[in-house]
Amino acid sequence: MWNIPPLTIGLTGILFLILAYRLVRQRYPDIHPFALYHQSSIAPVRNPEQSAVYRSTLTPFTYPLISGLNIREGHSFRDGDLRDIWNFAKKGKLGFVNKKGDPILYHDYDTELTPLLHTVASRFNEYVPGIKKIGIYLPNSIENVVTSFAAAHYSMETVLLPLVCDMSEISRYLEISQPELLIFEAGVLDFTQLSLPESIQCLIIVVPSIQDHLEWKDQLDEKVGSSISVHTWEDVVSSVSHPATAVDAPEGALTGPAIIVPYTATNGKVELATFSHRNIVSAVATQLRIVPKSESFKSTDIVIPLDSLQNMYTRIMFFSALTAGTTVVFCGTTSEGLDVGALQTISPTIMIVSSKSLYHVLNYTPGPLINLRLKRAQGILTSGNLPWPILRLFPKLRLIYTHDGQLPWQRQTKSGRADDKAGSLTSAQLSLLRALLGARVVYALTNPRIAGPICQTHIYDYRNLGAVRVFGPVVPALEAVVKDTEHLKGGDRQGHLFVRGLPTAERGWTTTNIVGEWGDDGCFRELY
Q: Which of residues 491-510 bind another protein (CB under 8 A)?
A: 492
The answer to whether residue 44 forms part of the interface with another protein (CB under 8 A) is yes
Alpha helices in 178-241 (DSSP H): 216-224, 233-237
Residue number, 384 or 476, with CB nearest to another protein: 384
Instruction: Encode burial over 330-348: b for 16+ CB neighbours within 10 A, e otherwise.
Output: bbbbbeeebeeebbeebeb
Q: Binding of another protein at residue 470 (CB under 8 A)?
A: no
- When asked if residue 429 is in the footprint of another protein (CB under 8 A), the reply is no
Q: Does 386 bind another protein (CB under 8 A)?
A: no
Q: Which residues contact 516 (CB under 8 A, 6 or more apart)?
A: 482, 494, 495, 497, 524, 525, 526, 527
Which range binds another protein by CB under 8 A, 44-52, 71-79, 93-101, 251-259?
Answer: 44-52
* 241 contacts another protein (rule: CB under 8 A): no
Q: Which of residues 315-374 bind another protein (CB under 8 A)?
A: none
Please give the C-alpha separations between residue 455 and each of 248, 261, 273, 445, 462, in angstroms, as whole numbers.
39, 20, 19, 5, 16
Please tell me whether residue 430 binds another protein under the rule CB under 8 A.
no
CB of 59 to another protein, least distance (A): 18
Binding piece for another protein, criterion CB under 8 A, among 35-43, 121-129, 188-196, 500-508:
35-43
Q: Which of 114, 378, 406, 513 is in the footprint of another protein by CB under 8 A? A: 378
The verdict on 38 binding another protein (CB under 8 A) reads: yes
> Cβ(292)–Cβ(191) under 8 Å?
no
Please state, in angstroms and rounded to a whole number, the distance separating the CA atoms of residues 473 and 442: 12
Q: Which is nearer to another protein, 23 or 165 (CB)?
A: 23
The reply on whether position 48 binds another protein by CB under 8 A is yes
Phi, psi of 405 (to 5 degrees): -80, 25
Q: How far is the CB of 16 from another protein (least distance, A)?
A: 10
- Where is 321: in which H helix or E strand? helix 312-323
HSE (CB half, 13 Å, CA atoms) of 18? Answer: 6
User: Among the candidate windows 30-38, 268-276, 342-350, 509-517, which touches another protein by CB under 8 A?
Assistant: 30-38
Number of residues that bind another protein (CB under 8 A): 40
Q: Is 483 near another protein (CB under 8 A)?
A: no
| Closest by CA position to 498, among listed 426, 429, 425, 447 | 447
**The only residue of 46, 132, 217, 298 in contact with another protein, by rule CB under 8 A:** 46
- Is residue 28 at the binding interface for another protein, with CB under 8 A as the rule? no
Residue 424 CB, nearest approach to another protein (Å): 24
Query: What gap in Å lies between CA 70 and CA 115, rounded to an integer?
Result: 27
Q: Which position among 15, 214, 244, 249 is part of the footprint of another protein (CB under 8 A)?
A: 15
CB-CB neighbours of 171 under 10 Å: 16
How far is Cα 477 from Cα 65, in angstroms, rounded to an integer?
5
**SS3 state of residue 310:** coil
DSSP state of 4: -
Residues that bind another protein (CB under 8 A): 1-2, 4-5, 7-8, 11-12, 14-15, 18-19, 21-22, 32-34, 36-38, 42-48, 51-52, 375-376, 378-380, 382-383, 492, 520-522
